[in-house]
Structure 1
Amino acid sequence: MTDLEYMDRAEAVLQAIELACDRINDDSDADIDNQRVGGMITLTFANRSQIVINLQKPLQEIWLAARSGGYHYQFDGSQWQDTKGQGEFFAHLSREASAQAGQPLVFSS
């Protein structure tokens, strides 16, 4: 994948996260504050815990940091998969955000 292809796909992920936060805040009382600076989004939950998602252009990866740890994702041709076999990015983000918000939350592409 070229750097341009990576940036297009990675940018789509960040936009999907921002849109999902807006939808979740409209449809629930989760109250997720999402702040974006360049290639990084910080999600802050009501309990002050955070999830940070950032782009790693040199590695063509997306990194996710949550209370449970840090995770790296690479595009496999159809979706962003954890480099250590822990699953797909949006499914993992949904689990982590649900745990930190204390209620079921769904993020998707």
Structure 2
Amino acid sequence: MTESEFNDLVDTTLENIEYQLDDAESDLDYENSGGVLTVICENRSQIIFTRQAPVLQLWVATRSGGFHFDYKDGGWVRDSDGESLADFLQSAFRDQANETFSFDFS
């Protein structure tokens, strides 16, 4: 995958997340600046998405830690255990924002 293709994938993924957040019932704020998407939950905790073009990964920081995702076989998967980004985010937003989302990155 080229760096340009990677950046397009990350942009599409972040836009998908933003669309889901726009439909949230709680007061979630977000800012997308310089390829970094920062989501601020009502409780002031943050979920931060950053692109890491040199290693072709999407990194996600939550209050429980930092996680790295690779794009494989048409979807984002966590490098440590293969969990999908969609499943990971459902858990992360439930835990941090008490919100339920159904993400689809295909």
Q: TM-score, normalised by structure 2?
A: 0.92
Is 1:69 matched up with 2:69? no
The Cα offsets for residues 16-71 of structure 1, whole Å up to 9 and x where unpaired, read as 111111122xxx2x211011112110100111011001100111100000011110
Instruction: Return the offset for 1:86.
Output: 4.8
Is 1:21 matched up with 2:21? yes
> 1:39 maps to which residue?
35
What is the rounded CA distance, in whole Å, between the counterparts of 1:108 and 1:85 in structure 2? 19
What is the rounded CA distance, in whole Å, between the counterparts of 1:23 and 1:106 in structure 2? 11
Name structure 1 gaps, 5 residues minimum: none
- Aligned identity (percent) is 30
What is the rounded CA distance, in whole Å, between the counterparts of 1:34 and 1:14 in structure 2? 11
Out of 64, 78, 81, the position equivalent to 2:77 is 81
What is the CA RMSD across the aligned residues, in angstroms?
A: 1.2
> 2:11 maps to which residue?
11
Whichever residue aligns with residue 49 of structure 1, its letter is S
3-state SS in 2 of match to 1:5: helix
Relative to structure 1, the CA distance from residue 62 to residue 78 in structure 2 (aligned partners, 3 Å threshold; closer, same or farther) is same
Give the paired residue count.
105
> 2:104 maps to which residue?
108
Whichever residue aligns with residue 65 of structure 1, its letter is A
> 2:91 maps to which residue?
95
Maintained 8 Å contact 1:91/1:108: no
